[in-house]
Structure 1
Amino acid sequence: MRKDKEKVLDEVWTEDRVREFLDVQPPKGVNADFHMLLKAYQSMRADDFEIFIGMFLEKGHDVNATNADGRTVLSFASEHRNSGEFVEILKNNGAK
């Protein structure tokens, strides 16, 4: 049998593809800024994430938005072993 979907590695992200993450809708009760920032962090390479952060902030979104437990995306990224570039991008753009 053949797999329905093949895993895509090193996908090329256009600016439009990155911008689509500004329209990601959160589940009920989840802060919209936190949700879109977390989804971008989980889905993008660091270079694309940096482009996204510029767009995110340009639209007036909060890089320090929190989830229901009061955690920021920076707090999650800081716990991940290979997230150094993401942590740096967040901090360079006002994340605390």
Structure 2
Amino acid sequence: MRKDKEKVIGEPMTDEQIAAFLTARPYAGESVEQHMLTRAYRGLRAHDFERFIEMFKQQGFDLNAADAQGNSFLQTIREHAQGEDYVVALERAGAR
């Protein structure tokens, strides 16, 4: 890997970088909220995800929006082995 392309781990993210996840939109058939939450979950560390959730709620998005199977995002990630910190963040924010 080129030196200028090294992966940087641990550098703080700005609010603008986190807010960029609010612009993610699905191609078709998926809830906008579920898509944004999934992208943020996959792309952010737990403490940054918590900041994202606050922005998400401030923009009026629904933390409890259901996917095609009727599950909330919280219900989905409760089954993930590495999702515990994200589950805690969602529960603190009022997700069910």
- When the two structures are superposed, what TM-score results if normalisation uses the length of structure 2? 0.86
Paired residue total: 94
**Which residue pairs with 2:55 in the alignment?**
55
Give 5+ residue unaligned stretches, structure 1: none
User: What residue in structure 2 maps to residue 76 of structure 1?
Assistant: 76
Q: String of CA shifts for 1:18-72, please: whole Å, max 9, x gaps.
A: 0001100112111101110111111110110010000000011000111111122
In the alignment, structure 2 segments of 5+ residues that lack a partner are none
AA matched with 1:10 = G
- Superposed CA RMSD: 1.6
Structure 1 residue 9, shift from structure 2 partner: 3.4
Q: Which moved more, 1:66-75 or 1:16-25?
A: 66-75
Displaced runs of 4 or more, over 3 A:
5-12
Find the counterpart in structure 2 of residue 88 from structure 1: 88
